[in-house]
Structure 1
């Protein structure tokens, strides 16, 4: 395992870390603590020391599993969770400091911890980033010893750039992958200048970049890759990175020619992300141990050549840029 610094937190975290949106099972399946415990422990055994969760994952069950892991292991494991998505409706007006405080206290109870290493606003509406009183709350929580640092999880580059204007924002979690390249243009250099940690989420475009899907692949009715392709439930950029499914498959076919001989493109897609030194870590998910093994293979891949990097850019320009680039 290789490690990088998470911005001004000073945490030294594993390049390949773990996101737990689907850690209890495939999206849409009931949460399985047995499966979660196995994946989480396998991750730590492999050298992963940064786990990202949220209070809405499995309705709090993911946080409970992460807390159980931390309490049962001797290794230093950094825990990041998120708050805000429990708000119904999820609108700017619902974001109030005392409500967020209660959510954070609930997360501490879920995990059985006294302090959260990192708490992140969970993709709030854009207007929230323009409300200083929301960000001031986290200074109070730090003084009280309930959190060490705060960050944000964002949908848009605009939101990321606004968030890092607040001095107490230490990290930004953002979608970045071969099909979502805009963050590297302006945000990455600015984040480096301000010593902001960058946590890359949705690195495989909801599995599309594994190369394992085709036109006959089906997803369960409760899987967001089935019901959220047009943003029916939440920002459509969370599903296949906002790329239309058929167009994404065509682009993946071209990527196969760039990385020939690799039936599983996931390690190549993750290794591509790691070529960007502004990135602190990647948090691919895993719904079974095999997915974790696949993700970790990225550490064994050589860095893509200059020719491969240019080829990925060309495929992005041809298939992805116009319909996706300017939306997020």
Structure 2
């Protein structure tokens, strides 16, 4: 019988936060490593599940919270995730990421991404340099223009920094459907390495043309809002996963939502946010095993709609 996310976590004794090593919620003999997809502009392989830091990593100097988040990153690393996405908009998150990853074991284990979120060339440069310091990086894997704020100015700086080797990739971000048309126009014009935007099982506006535009222009995609700020879990509270989910190695509702997203081959990486080690493990499970085909996607969508 398929388990709900809560039941699965309880079964493994992960119903509450713990700093001890946690067992895996998955184990698929047919795939021993997390799935990866190619970054079109370089050919580099990128793991398909990472982590976002909005709200969840904004913990300041709390000793307890920092210890828990260290375990979160341990689990992400253990199961093959690499993308850590942050922003100066996210309070202390950048500094927390820098503090937690300042060790030989972590320094090169992750794909570090953050954003510029201000207006003006000088202000943008100052803010990005501050992000380098907070995240304790000499090179940033990905620098993004947050919500397209003053993008015409920052894109020039980012292109120059990529040429200089200060950043490896540059990109754009937004989180609402109404910004998708603007994203497409800029993608066609500027050819960014990455674009980050919202997409989920119920919020599928990006399927109209944004994904196609990204593919045509060799722009990798990072997906935010995969759980619609957690509202998707409210729809399935108290509901048991259907038996046919086993065919797609879906062991929780979280994996149900993530695997729907990842079954779209135009998605390079999804970045669910969490501050809980057991949820980090569960999220990483979506990067393992089978993914739904077109019929499976339709079935998943119809089932959720029927609840």
Give the TM-score normalised by structure 2.
0.75
Structure 1: unaligned runs, 5 residues or longer? 88-94, 214-248, 320-328
Equivalent of 1:146 in 166, 175, 195? 166
TM-aligned CA distance change 1:142 to 1:176, over 3 Å: same
TM-aligned CA distance change 1:260 to 1:273, over 3 Å: closer
User: Structure 1 CA distance, aligned partners of 2:99 and 2:43?
Assistant: 22
Q: CA deviation at 1:300?
A: 4.3
Q: Does 1:174 align with 2:197?
A: yes
Cα deviation, 1:258-308, whole Å, max 9, x if unaligned, reads 967988311011111111111111111111101112212223453335444
Q: Does 1:82 align with 2:115?
A: yes
For 2:260, the equivalent position in structure 1 comes to 272
Q: After superposition, where does 1:1-328 map in structure 2 within 5 Å?
A: 1-24=34-57, 32-57=65-90, 59-66=91-98, 68-69=100-101, 71-73=103-105, 75-84=108-117, 87=118, 95-125=119-149, 128-129=150-151, 131=152, 133-155=153-175, 156-167=179-190, 169-209=192-232, 211=233, 213=234, 249=235, 264-300=252-288, 302-304=290-292, 306-314=294-302
Q: CA deviation at 1:69?
A: 1.3
TM-aligned CA distance change 1:70 to 1:254, over 3 Å: same
TM-aligned CA distance change 1:112 to 1:182, over 3 Å: same
Say whether the 8 Å CA contact 2:66–2:100 is kept in structure 1. Answer: no
For 1:224, the equivalent position in structure 2 comes to none
User: Structure 1 CA distance, aligned partners of 2:63 and 2:148?
Assistant: 26
Q: CA deviation at 1:256?
A: 5.7
User: Structure 2 CA distance, aligned partners of 1:41 and 1:113?
Assistant: 19
TM-aligned CA distance change 1:25 to 1:271, over 3 Å: same
SS of the residue 1:140 aligns to: helix
Instruction: Tell which deviates more after alignment, 30-39 or 159-168.
Output: 30-39
User: Structure 2 CA distance, aligned partners of 1:68 and 1:9?
Assistant: 28
Q: CA deviation at 1:55?
A: 1.9
Say whether the 8 Å CA contact 1:51–1:80 is kept in structure 2. Answer: yes
Higher relative contact order, chain-length normalized (CA < 8 Å, sep 6+): 2
Cα deviation, 1:227-252, whole Å, max 9, x if unaligned, reads xxxxxxxxxxxxxxxxxxxxxx3x88
SS of the residue 1:117 aligns to: strand
C-alpha RMSD of matched pairs (Å): 3.1
User: Structure 2 CA distance, aligned partners of 1:97 and 1:259?
Assistant: 53
Say whether the 8 Å CA contact 1:139–1:168 is kept in structure 2. Answer: no
Q: CA deviation at 1:8?
A: 0.8
For 2:3, the equivalent position in structure 1 comes to none
Q: CA deviation at 1:111?
A: 1.7
SS of the residue 2:275 aligns to: coil
Instruction: Tell which deviates more after alignment, 46-55 or 100-109.
Output: 46-55
Cα deviation, 1:59-89, whole Å, max 9, x if unaligned, reads 23434424641643265421111120xx4xx
User: Structure 1 CA distance, aligned partners of 2:138 and 2:159?
Assistant: 16
Say whether the 8 Å CA contact 1:55–1:62 is kept in structure 2. Answer: yes
Say whether the 8 Å CA contact 2:146–2:173 is kept in structure 1. Answer: yes
User: Structure 2 CA distance, aligned partners of 1:305 and 1:145?
Assistant: 39
Say whether the 8 Å CA contact 1:150–1:168 is kept in structure 2. Answer: no
